[in-house]
Amino acid sequence: MANRNRPLSPFMLGTLYRLQITSVMSLMHRVTGIVASVGAFGLAWWLLAVARGGEAYASASDLLASPLGMFALAAFSLALVYHLLNGIRHLLWDIGWGFELPEVYRSGYAVVVLTFVLTAAIWFVALRGGA
């Protein structure tokens, strides 16, 4: 007969399973992929407004300049940068680099830090008006 005292799943949080950076980054990669996909529809909407010109562009610009629009743009840019950097990390794993546990953690923390640094740099340049 099967042992009924064993855990049912390693994904049960609390005393049986503690979150690790690898599991959090995997979850965040999926979440940022969804945010980037939704943001791509927003980008297509903005491009259609630009193509229509006039009133459509003005209303799109007003919406994107609102606090909610700025939040959406910030989330979109943060998601794109994180997804890109973590994707590069996975490509490096595909060629066999970085499988040792210390390197996995180091590259994970590097992705998180670089995500915020690069996103802040993008917003700094964008709000400054370019070069």
**Other Cβ atoms within 10 Å of 88 Cβ, number:** 13
Q: Is 90 annotated as a binding residue?
A: no
**Other Cβ atoms within 10 Å of 32 Cβ, number:** 24
Binding residues for heme: 83
- Binding-site residue set: 83
